[in-house]
Every structure is written in C-alpha cells, then in structure tokens.
Amino acid sequence: MAGPHTLGTDGLIPVVTQETGSGRVLTVAWINREALQQTAATGEAHYWSRSRKKLWHKGEESGHVQKVKAVRLDCDADVLLFEVEQVGGIACHTGRHSCFFQELRNGNWVEVDPVLKDPKAIYGKQDGKQAD
C-alpha cells in the first residue's frame, strides 16, 4: 500500500484509535510500516511499542484486541486514525475503557472514568503497566 509518506526520523508516526459507534478516542500509540502492514493483513490493530521496542499486537496478553473497521490518514500523511471495535470494552492498561480518563477541571486533572476491571485480573500479574 502507498504511504504514509512521512514516517518520522525514527520510522514512527502517531495513530489515534477511535471506537466505532461511540466515537470515543481510546488510545494514541505509535506505528511503523511493519505494524501497519500487519494491521492491514490481520484486521487487528498492531502498533510499535516504544518502551519494549517491538511490534505490539494490541490485546496479545489481555485478549482486548481491536478489530479495525477503517484506517484513515491525515492531510500531511503523518498521522493515522484507526476506527475499531474494542473487544472487551477495555483499551487502557489501567482497566478503563479509554486511556483518556483524566479531565482538566478548575486547573486540576480529575479521574472521570471508572476502572472496569482490575488490571491484575486482566493481565494475571502484579505489573499491568508492561502489558497490553
């Protein structure tokens, strides 16, 4: 497939992942050419994990995969948008629906969305932070 035309100097561009139907922005992650090709080939979102420096099949540990319904590209061809069905209804490693659960209210960041499932139960270990 053609493009994205502009991959960053590290070969990565951001990808916004939005839930079909609800329109909720679930995550922002990073992607390279290989991860985009895997996404297109499998129909499930693949990203590049900057912390683990490897290809990341979203939901590979949790089962909370993202079924990709559409892939869009922005005007500058350097940001992607995935429209997905979020299996399990949980995209965030904290056990919440969306990673964007903190809202600015009167100058403070307030957690406004509930934890739907304990990360320990999702990932089966103490440190949910490393898991996806």
Q: CB of residue 124 vs a second copy: minimum separation in angstroms?
A: 20
State which residue, 55 or 99, has the beta carbon closest to a second copy: 99
Question: Binding to a second copy (CB under 8 A): which residues in 35-74?
Answer: 40, 70-74
For residues 112 and 47, is the Cβ–Cβ distance under 8 A?
no
For residues 3 and 13, is the Cβ–Cβ distance under 8 A?
no
The site for a second copy, by CB under 8 A, has a size of: 36
- Name which position in 9, 54, 107, 114 contacts a second copy (CB under 8 A): 107
Which pair of tokens denotes residue 44?
A: 């499930």
Cα separation, 125 vs 25, in Å, equals: 27
Collect contacts of 36-40 with beta carbons under 8 A, ≥24 apart.
Answer: 36/1, 36/4, 36/71, 36/80, 37/1, 39/68, 39/71, 39/82, 40/1, 40/71
What x/- string results for residues 67 through 96 when contact with a second copy is judged by CB under 8 A?
---xxxxxxxx-x-x----------xxx-x
State which residue, 19 or 57, has the beta carbon closest to a second copy: 19
* Contact positions vs a second copy (CB under 8 A): 1-3, 14, 16, 18, 22-25, 27-28, 40, 70-77, 79, 81, 92-94, 96, 99-104, 107-109
